[in-house]
Amino acid sequence: MPFSHPLLVPVSIRTTFQFLFRPQTFRRYVATLEGHPHIYIYPHPTNRSSHLLTLLPTTPPTPSLSLGTTSTLPPSLSTFTPNPKFLPLLQRTLSQHAQHDPSILSSAAAFAASSLQSLWSRDRRAKPTGGWVHVTDERSPPEWGRIGDVEDIFGSIAVDGTGRVLPKEEGGGYEPCLGYRIWTRNGM
């Protein structure tokens, strides 16, 4: 005799067993920010009136690693609240790895070339001096040879006159820019 239940009307015990013990399927309610497919939007786990913005497509999201929260979708500059734990984490990561980035090494070489050229035209006996190469985000790239907006500069890396990145032991290293903002009038 087939098994019956008021809510389930299966044909046999086998189909009932398959229905009751099927693997659970989890749904991810996640979207990406329009124009920024690398930024994921999740409902905030504790505040139902806001959303988490994060770079990680993990479920459940980790609020301590999120960019911040927003009370409206799409988010705006006035509704976005940055995560106070994210920027220090980002700056620590950049201080350890930015000096290996190909674009930074290229900028350092260009810096050296321009400083050597200006020295060549002035005094051939002078030694090239060092300077700083800025680590910027890509939301509003400055024109060639120009410095970007302070709010778009993550930090700066010291280089010598030959374009070599100076380590911290030689008075160089990475210096974070305190004026950097995750969200500006130019976007995120």
Kindly tell me if the per-residue pLDDT of 126 is higher than 80.
no
CA distance 171 to 164: 13
**Which range of residues forms the domain containing residue 54?**
31-83
Higher pLDDT residue, 116 or 76? 76
In a domain, 187, yes or no: no
In a domain, 12, yes or no: no
Q: Tens digit of pLDDT for each residue in 81-121?
A: 999 999 999 999 999 999 999 999 998 888 877 765 554 45
User: Do 56 and 114 sit in the same domain of this protein?
Assistant: no
> Is there a contact between 107 and 132 (Cβ–Cβ < 8 Å)?
no
Say if residue 57 is preceded by a cis peptide, omega within 30 of 0: no
